[in-house]
Structures are given as structure tokens and as C-alpha cells.
A and B are shown apart, each in its own frame.
Chain A
């Protein structure tokens, strides 16, 4: 299970009507949602993209931190 705190907004988004025009209506976070799972392969791909992106950002920022610390 992914760890981390979840926002109150996300908690009430679990059973919202799924809006399939995701780019406009749906903010995907690394926590994902049941709505995303219900979208099937498209939802899973989008969610994993966000997760990977977030992981990369965390990795990059920790590298930056290491660099800064070295300086």
C-alpha cells in the first residue's frame, strides 16, 4: 500500500461520478482513487504515470539536496 497522508478532498472523491474527460475534470494524484481503477487500463496507465513522475521528482529533489549539502 502506498503510504502518506491523504487530503480530506480525496476522501470525499472516492465515489464521485466518474468524469471521463480526465484532463479537464479529474486531478490525478499518486494516491489514485477507485474512480481511476474503474476507468480500467486507461486509468491505471495515467495513475502509474503520475506515481512514476512523483517518484522521479522525489528522487531528483533528494539528489539536489545531497548536492546542496555537499556544497
Chain B
């Protein structure tokens, strides 16, 4: 059934394009085409998925789902006879791509060089596969195209004409990439030079095929994929200015212009492409990931499968322009799995509930809710996919072949071939497990990693498993894997030492050799287990060798934050931002450090910068609101808390702030009431919290309250639970309406779905110090110890003050123990009023007198 299509949609993919390169070139007037596209549309960063491997990512872009659903993991798959490997094919994709869905809806599509797209699918339109541009013969020889390169087959001869052979690239064409090529004959013969020319010819081939199809065929949807920026960067990013000391000057001079020239050539191609469409065509320009171009450029590339991916950065580019799209705005929070849902929405079609991405409503001038269906996989019609017989899981097919070998039906393949296929299979599973972790599906990922690590002892698999256990809070398992990794690591090192030659095994395990991954893992484990003192020296040691590791800097900053050492946290977050000034986590963390140091204006600035990078982070809006309250900017604070509650409706602490502001600052009782109603229906109950510095008289206070008639199940085990509140807070449910003691350092771990009445037992240093020194079992402790103790007590008091200050609408009673002893009746009545209960006054007085 053919439907009238309102507007055309053109998707252009630039593999690895990165704003860090593009923006300075725009400022210099060197990329006018993308600049004009940005002005008439929206633009922003596009978050990649992990692992950042292109076949997996471009398939996620075209399907809206992750690798475990779409089936494309790595770069290779077994050949049909199971005896070798081949580039991953389109028949391995398990779900419909956007062009298949559009096909069913009567759209005509052209797809050029998408990865993977061989063999070309029989869509209503033209598909030119990703093997189209690859030159297999010398210039002048018959350069045949592999089977399945072009659909329909009848177009094959015509399409052959537009291929540019690397040896056709002239000096004039190569000169902007390598100016020395004109005079330097040696440079012309260098392998790197030939790689540059090959990449340029591939780009020209893909571009000319796409301009031909744009001009000469009818189409409603078109998708063109260019891999050249990624290739130019892998070849020559190490020579991109500024020159690093380890790069030879001659190489630098020869190849320093390759990356810039590559980007500018893409802008020229874009200019031409945009000139061929009308204003009613929607254009989406995107990349699957970025590419480190500054001090984050890795110093070495791991000798292992997909090792070069270490050069990729986590954010690609996104530009969208056309009818109904906002103009000149920057958007945030976009991910590559959002592209297909967004295209479907823009095309007026339903979005599959089984798609993991979301519609990027923020791009549209007048968005309305998308219509959802369960899944496009269940919708019948001509999708233009290959016949189901052709579509199969190649790894399962290889497994079936192996079973036939074992049964003796077919001859066994040579051992090394089998080994190679097995290694590739495990590698593929490793990528899929990483992709699952990235999508929050830790359990199935752990199952895969446990198996492949057990089978192979490959360190990378074990490291990823340890990280997965860490994320799943399976700390004992994590510790076990770390111990095993220590053994395997030692064996590997000994083996390598014994080998005189450098290992040529592409499945070697060098990924974390230099970065001290074991210390790193142990540091993170200690951090996760709330042992900041143990974690800090480990991570600081790793940082000495890895000064440009962003995650490391933010982890150390987190430790300082946990220890309430906000100045040190501030310094680490500044270090993190020097590594990557686009890091949302670092801007947010820095803002939080400023907030806790009462530098409210600076905090607001950092929170806004963090939100510029990623708007959809409720915690950042929350703390922005908190900082705005401190600056008496209540209307703005309300906006921040409202965004927060829209993003996370269950965030009770934001509702509490709204109640506080509406009630006491803005005099809007009806709005306060709305939020109160929400809180009433979402708060599990009231708990009375006693807190104070360590060694305060909390046990006596609890006994006093018990004497007065309050329910206290005085049990030391339960107080031990309080100290573990970071890991489990289930026990709080049994204490609704009761009194609990929470140590000062754990106050910030209290869950938000309870109302707390906090009794802060305030004791002077003179009162607490004797208790602490008596524990040393020395009559007169050394002076230095006393000074240290005083500092600790002061810090604990500071933590309590800080927590109380940051709690909205919190009821806190500061109770001085000595005053209570001196004037019992008065203090008890204050307590009674605060807790809103009738105490047994006589029993309480009796208890106090007996002390």
C-alpha cells in the first residue's frame, strides 16, 4: 500500500565526527555548510553506546535497539562453511531497520554504504552496500563488485561508473591532506599516504553514488554513511596539532593536515548534498561516537581486537534541520538509539515500545506525544528484508556445523581455524555483554562474562566482569575476580617475559597493562564499599601514572566528597574538567563541591554547565534548586525543583523543597498543598532519628526516650545496621514511628521516602573529649592525639550541620545534653512538643536523676 509522503528525510552519517574538531573549524570559516545547517536546525552531542564499535553502533542507530537485540556485535562473523571469518553481513541483523519499517509504510528508500549492508536488501528503492567502495584490483583492471553490492541488480553497471580508484587520486586532490606530497617522492610511496588516498577515494565513491541516486531516483527516505572521518582520524590523529613530544617531527609535518582536510572535504560534500534537496526535506547529520583529538589522545593502541576503539570518545555529533524543527537551538540528552524513534515520530509513524531509544521531542517546534505500538516486528507487510532463510545467526550456524563435525558428518576444520573462530565468537559475546552493561542489563552480561572468562582467562573479560559485579553491588564476587585476575596477570607477565619476541597474537591482553587496572579496580571496590580511606591511596597511585584519566579524577573527587573534604574534591573536579571540559559528571561534582562550601553563585554556574551537556539529570536540577534557594532566588528554585519532579516524579525531597518554598517564601499555600498531598501518598512513614558525633551520649538519650514511653527496640545489632545504611535500608521499615540512631557520617545515606524528625545531640568538645581519650587507656594522651581528636570531632559536627542545612522542610531539634541534665523539665517539655507526644515525665526525671 502506497501512502502519500509529506516530506523527505535525509540521514547523513559521518563516522567519528566530533564537535571538538568541528567548532574551531566553523569559527575559522572552514566548515560553512554544517554551520548553515546548524543555524536552520538544532544541534547537540550524541551519546554513544559501549563498546564504541561502528557496525554495532550504526545498526543501533538504524534500529533503535542495542546489540543483544539487533544481533550485530563485532566486525566479523563466521563464513557459511564455518571455516573462517568474513565481514559482518546484513543477514545477521535480527530486527527491522528504519528503512524496512518505512518500506512497509510505502516509503521509497535509498541506502548507501550503511554498516553493515551487504548483501543489499531488496527494499523499494536502492541499496548500495558497504562493500561498494572497496577497490579490489589495480587501476585499469576489471574491478568487479562483490555479489549483493547493489539492489536492484539492474543498477549495478551504472553504479560501477561512480567508483573512484585510490590510484586515480591526483596530486592536486591529495595536496590539501599532505602538502609535502608534491615534492616528496618517498612520502608518495608510504603506506600511510596510500591509506589516506584510499580513504579519500572511498569517500568520493560513496558521495558520488549518493548524489547520483538523489538526482536520478525517486526517494522519500535516504541514508548515506561515510566512514572516512573515522579512517582519517585513525591514520593521522596522532599527527594532529599540537605535536606531542613522542611524534617525530618529519611525520608530523607530513600528516598534520590530514584530519582537518578530511573534515573540510566532508563539509564540501555536505554543501553539495544540501544544494540537491529542497527546504521541505529534513536533514539529520550524525556521528556514532567522537574521536579524541587533544591531550586525551591515547599514547598507545592496544594490540587486540578492536584495540583502535580506544581512540574513540563517548560523544558524537547531531544536527537536525527541516520543517517542524526548532532553529538555532542546542539540545542535550540525545543518544544514538534515539535516532530511529525520532525519525518514525517525525514521519508520523508509530514508535515501537520494544525500542530502547526515545523520541527527541526537544528538537520539534510543537511536539505532541508519539503513538506507540508494541513492536514493529509483529507488523506484517513487505519490509524489504532478506528472505527468512537467508537471515540467520552466523554464530549459531557455526555451532551447528561444529556439531556435525563432532558427529562425523563433515570433516573437521583445521585446529587453528577453529581456534580463530572460537576466539572471535567469544570476542563477539564480550562486545554484546559490554553493550548489555551499558544498557543496565547486568545480570545477563555477568552470565556471559563469567562463562567466557572461565573458558579463556582473557584478562579483559575478567576486568569487565569485576566492573559488572561492582555495578551490581556483588562486592564479594568482585573481590574474588580481582584475586583471580592477580594470578592470571602474573602468569601472563611471566609468560611474556619468557617470550623473546613480541606477542603477535591479536587477542593479547594489553588493554590495562600500563594503567594499573588491578589497583584501579580495588580502589573502586573500596570506594563502592564506603571505605574511602582505603580507596584514596590506591586511586591516587593509579592517577600518578594516568593523569589524563577522567573517570579516575572523578572517582577520587567522589572520595573527597564522601569524606566531606570539599576543597580537595573541587581540585579533583577541576582536574577532571581540564581533561574533558564537556564532562557532565565533573561539572556537576564541581557544582556540588561549591555548594557545600557555600559558594552558591559558582555552584549555579557549574550546575548550568552540566545541564547544558545533559539536561535530563534530575539530581543536577535538584542541587541547582538548592543553590538557588541559598541565593534567595525562589522562583528560579521552584522551576528547578519542578523540572526535577517532572523527570523523576517520585523524588520526594524535591517535593519537600517545593512545599517549603510555597509555604514559607512565596506564600502560595494551594501549591504547597498539592505537593504535600503527593508527599502524604508517597512517604512510607515517620522515623525519629537521633544523631550526634561519635561517643556522644546517644545511648542515654535513647534510654531517656524509652523511659518516657517511646518505642525503642534497643539492640546493638540494629545500631550496627545503621552504619551499613549505604548498602541496605530495609530495616528502616521496621522502625516506622520508632527512634533510630544514625551516625553523623551516614546521615546523607538516609532514604528520601520517610519523614524524619531529627534530634541532634549537641555536646561540647569538653564533654566528648574525655570519653574518647578514656578509650585510649592512657591517663594522659599525647598532645598530638588530642589535637587530632579535636579536629575529628569538629569535622563530625560540621558534617551534621551540613546535612541539616541541605534538608528541606526537615524538623530538627538541637538538644544539649548538659542543659538537659541541668534543667530536665524544661528540656523534656521541648522534646515532648517537638515529637508531639505525651511523655511519662516522672519516669524520665527519675532516669536522669539516676545517671
Cα–Cα distance between A31 and B275 once the two chains are bound (Å): 25
Do A1 and B175 contact each other (CB < 8 Å), given the known contacts A31-B170, A37-B207? no
B162 near A11: Cβ-Cβ < 8 Å: no
B175 near A6: Cβ-Cβ < 8 Å: yes
Give chain B interface residues in 10-69, CB to chain A under 8 Å: 30
The B contact surface, by secondary structure, is: helix
Give chain A interface residues in 1-45, CB to chain B under 8 Å: 1-4, 6, 10-11, 13-15, 18, 20, 29-35, 37-45
A40 near B207: Cβ-Cβ < 8 Å: yes
A6 near B162: Cβ-Cβ < 8 Å: no
B208 near A41: Cβ-Cβ < 8 Å: yes
Give chain A interface residues in 41-67, CB to chain B under 8 Å: 41-45
Do A40 and B208 contact each other (CB < 8 Å), given the known contacts A31-B171, A33-B173? yes
Residues of A within 8 A of B211 (CB): 39-42
B268 near A1: Cβ-Cβ < 8 Å: no
Tell me the total A-B contact number using a CB cutoff of 8 A. 90
Cα–Cα distance between A42 and B204 once the two chains are bound (Å): 12
Residues of A within 8 A of B776 (CB): none
B209 near A11: Cβ-Cβ < 8 Å: no
The A contact surface, by secondary structure, is: loop
B268 near A18: Cβ-Cβ < 8 Å: yes
Residues of B within 8 A of A2 (CB): 168, 170-171
Cα–Cα distance between A41 and B207 once the two chains are bound (Å): 8
B197 near A1: Cβ-Cβ < 8 Å: yes
A6 near B171: Cβ-Cβ < 8 Å: yes
Q: Which residue of B lies closest to A33 (CB)?
A: B172
**With an 8 A cutoff between CB atoms, is B264 at the interface?**
yes
Do A32 and B264 contact each other (CB < 8 Å), given the known contacts A1-B197, A40-B272, A41-B215? no
Cα–Cα distance between A41 and B162 once the two chains are bound (Å): 6
Residues of A within 8 A of B208 (CB): 37, 40-41, 43-44
Residues of A within 8 A of B207 (CB): 37-38, 40
Cα–Cα distance between A29 and B171 once the two chains are bound (Å): 12
Residues of B within 8 A of A20 (CB): 272, 275
**With an 8 A cutoff between CB atoms, is B167 at the interface?**
yes
**With an 8 A cutoff between CB atoms, is B405 at the interface?**
no
- Which residue from B30, B188, B271 sits with its C-beta under 8 Å from A1? B188
A1 near B174: Cβ-Cβ < 8 Å: yes
B173 near A37: Cβ-Cβ < 8 Å: yes
Q: Which residue of B lies closest to A44 (CB)?
A: B208
Do A11 and B272 contact each other (CB < 8 Å), given the known contacts A38-B265, A40-B212, A41-B162? no
Residues of B within 8 A of A39 (CB): 211, 272
Which 8 residue pairs of A and B lie closest in terms of their CB atoms, listed nearest first? A40-B211, A38-B268, A31-B172, A41-B212, A37-B204, A41-B208, A2-B170, A14-B176
Q: List 28 A-B contacts (CB under 8 A).
A: A1-B197, A2-B168, A2-B171, A11-B182, A14-B172, A14-B175, A14-B176, A15-B176, A15-B264, A15-B268, A18-B268, A29-B172, A31-B172, A31-B173, A32-B170, A34-B176, A34-B265, A37-B164, A39-B211, A40-B208, A40-B211, A40-B269, A41-B208, A43-B208, A44-B162, A44-B164, A44-B208, A45-B161
